[in-house]
């Protein structure tokens, strides 16, 4: 039996009513989720806001995946809303180091997300300052975007160089590619449409967990 690879449901919507429905649904089969936030600037699409999340009372522990320009400007808001971890994009801020320090100062964990075209050499100097790296395996900003297989090579490379680093992947995950992804050495897999757009989201979540474990 291999290591326990976590499946993290990723909640993405631009509608506050739909947000509550998705959160309640997630509560029925998991205790942890990722909230995807998009500003319509760093990525083309726009999602619900931090204020929308803050209004919800949820039993979920959650992290915020900020697909936004200048994430350093909204860190305190997400802390107050209940986020345990901030995952921000390397490409979204002029100073990733300063953003990491600001998140730490607020007492939250730090995840660094990287777009498909960003080389591992950009991430390497920051590895010791963060809790995890999240590889985007799609061009971010669209629900159900097409998976980019070349990202798997980046994961294998970073894993070899950093055996103890927590590594995740996000985007284009389906039941058909979960086992292949699990074999790269990832610790967690963020999944949106392959859970929430399926007829039985809870069953889909369980199948994805089983597929990851079997790899």
Active site residue 73: no
**Most distant CA pair in the chain, distance:** 43
Q: Residue 191 in contact with residue 8, Cβ under 8 Å?
A: yes
Closest to 109 (Cα-Cα) out of 32, 4, 174: 32
- Catalytic-role residue among 39, 52, 131, 170: 170
Q: How far apart are CA 41 and CA 145, in angstroms?
A: 18
Query: DSSP string of 61-89?
Result: EEEEEEESSSGGGSHHHHHHHT-SEEEEE
Active site residue 170: yes
Please give the distance of CA 56 from its chain centroid, rounded to a whole number.
Answer: 20
Q: How far apart are CA 21 and CA 24, in angstroms?
A: 5
Q: How far apart are CA 78 and CA 121, in angstroms?
A: 29
Q: How far apart are CA 172 and CA 194, in angstroms?
A: 8
Helix-strand-coil split of the chain, %, nearest 5: 40, 20, 40
Which residues are annotated as catalytic?
36, 170
């Amino acid at each position: 039996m291999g290591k326990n690879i976590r499946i993290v449901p990723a909640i993405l919507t631009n509608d506050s009513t739909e947000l509550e429905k998705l959160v309640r649904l997630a509560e029925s089969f998991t205790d942890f989720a990722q909230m995807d936030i998009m500003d319509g600037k760093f990525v083309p699409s726009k999602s619900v806001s931090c204020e929308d999340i803050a209004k919800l009372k949820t039993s979920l522990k959650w992290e915020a995946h900020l697909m936004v320009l200048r994430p350093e400007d909204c860190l305190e808001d997400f802390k107050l809303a209940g986020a345990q971890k901030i995952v921000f994009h390397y490409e979204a801020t002029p100073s990733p180091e300063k953003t990491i320090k600001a998140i730490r100062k607020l007492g939250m964990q730090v995840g660094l997300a990287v777009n498909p075209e960003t080389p591992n050499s950009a991430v390497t100097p920051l590895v010791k300052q963060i809790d995890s790296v999240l590889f985007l395996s799609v061009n971010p900003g669209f629900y159900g975007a097409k998976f980019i297989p070349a990202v798997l090579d980046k994961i294998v490379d970073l894993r070899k160089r950093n055996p103890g680093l927590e590594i995740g992947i996000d985007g284009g995950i389906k039941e058909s590619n979960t086992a292949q992804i699990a074999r790269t050495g990832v610790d967690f897999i963020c999944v949106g449409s392959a859970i929430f757009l399926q007829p039985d989201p809870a069953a889909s979540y369980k199948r994805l967990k089983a597929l990851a474990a079997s790899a």
